Amino acid sequence: MTAVDPRHVDAGDQVDPSSVRGDAPVVRRRPKAAALLALTKPRIIELLLVTTVPTMILASGGLPSLQLVAATIFGGFLAAGGANALNMYIDRDIDRLMARTTHRPLVTGEVSPNAALAFGLTLAVASVAWFAVVTNALTAALTAAAILMYVVGYTLLLKRRTPQNIVWGGAAGCMQILIGWAAVTGSLAWAPAVLFGVVFFWTPPHYWPLSLRFKDDYAAAGVPMLPVVAPLSRVAKEIIGYSWAMVLTSLLLVPLGGMTPFYAVAAVLLGGWFLWEAHALMRRVRQGARDVKAMRLFHGSITYLALLFLAVAIDAFLPW
């Protein structure tokens, strides 16, 4: 995630049951403020907390200033909210075609396209200005880069053109790690680069299982997510490849981030569990199971990331 995150962003959407049945979607009018808040996809705050706070703890070698943590989370939410609003503005045409997005404010008419565009741009600009004032120029520049990567790189250029969209677009979801580190130190180092890599390789095994569940949605909208354009066996194989890359990258934090044996053991155990689940998915695919239980890996990936970053945070307080 990240200041912006195409994985949790879509994963947080709720499906209107009537649209799944093929009926006309039920439009539940929200107050204007609630509709604008929905444009930001507020559940992104979960990913901000999971990745940003442990990164800041590692950067400071202990508990950083709570004021700085709060300011960084707030700025990250502004950036994510602005980018998500702009994403909804750009994708309003295909959002009408997918069952799980028929409730979005631009589809229901609760917010006009012009209002969504103005709201998104305002939040995006405000987030960069906020970081420039309360932290430093590097943090502000990284925030601007994250927004551009998500809005231009992922939403405009990649999402509708390549099945690798979530791989490279997901890099925007890793930027919050660099932002959190830069907010504390004013610079970058190998440790946040490794954590960036972990989340980068984590993105496909996290998102492709979800894409399997909503494959028909993406197909109807003409979005070439990998599960739409490739056989299930290839999807499972690529999930395994990225999972191994993720786990091996997580272990690089031991020599490059000066982590203790506590983190090393946690990374090995969590990584082994994740790899077991990824290979179990492949086994179910090869056995021709009607239900390959892809969402099991999706939910497991969230647990993996949360526990790994928790280990990062705890490790910073250990005297070893």
Token look-up 């295909």 returns 94
Q: At what angle do helices 44-60 and 294-315 cross, to 10 degrees?
A: 30
Residue 175's domain spans which residues? 6-17+33-315
Whether residue 23 lies inside any domain: the answer is: no
Residue 23: HSE in the Cβ half-sphere, 13 Å Cα cutoff: 8
- Mean pLDDT by runs of 10 across the 320 residues of the chain is 42 39 54 93 82 97 96 96 97 94 94 97 98 98 97 95 90 94 98 98 96 92 95 97 98 97 98 98 94 95 97 93
Whether residue 89 lies inside any domain: the answer is: yes
Gap between the Cα atoms of 238 and 216, Å rounded: 20
Give me the helices (H) in 40-91, please.
44-60, 66-90
Whether residue 22 lies inside any domain: the answer is: no
Gap between the Cα atoms of 94 and 88, Å rounded: 10
Residues 6+ apart with CB under 8 A from 165: 154, 158, 159, 223, 224, 225
Gap between the Cα atoms of 251 and 259, Å rounded: 10
For residue 100, the model assigns a pLDDT of 85
What pTM was estimated for this model as a whole? 0.90
Whether residue 26 lies inside any domain: the answer is: no
For residue 27, the model assigns a pLDDT of 53
Total number of domains constituting the chain: 1
For residue 39, the model assigns a pLDDT of 95
**Residues 133 and 48 sit within 8 Å (Cβ to Cβ):** no
Whether residue 173 lies inside any domain: the answer is: yes
Whether residue 1 lies inside any domain: the answer is: no
Residues 6+ apart with CB under 8 A from 56: 64, 68, 69, 72, 180, 181, 183, 184
CATH number at residue 218: 1.10.600
Whether residue 141 lies inside any domain: the answer is: yes
Greatest alpha-carbon span in the chain: 60
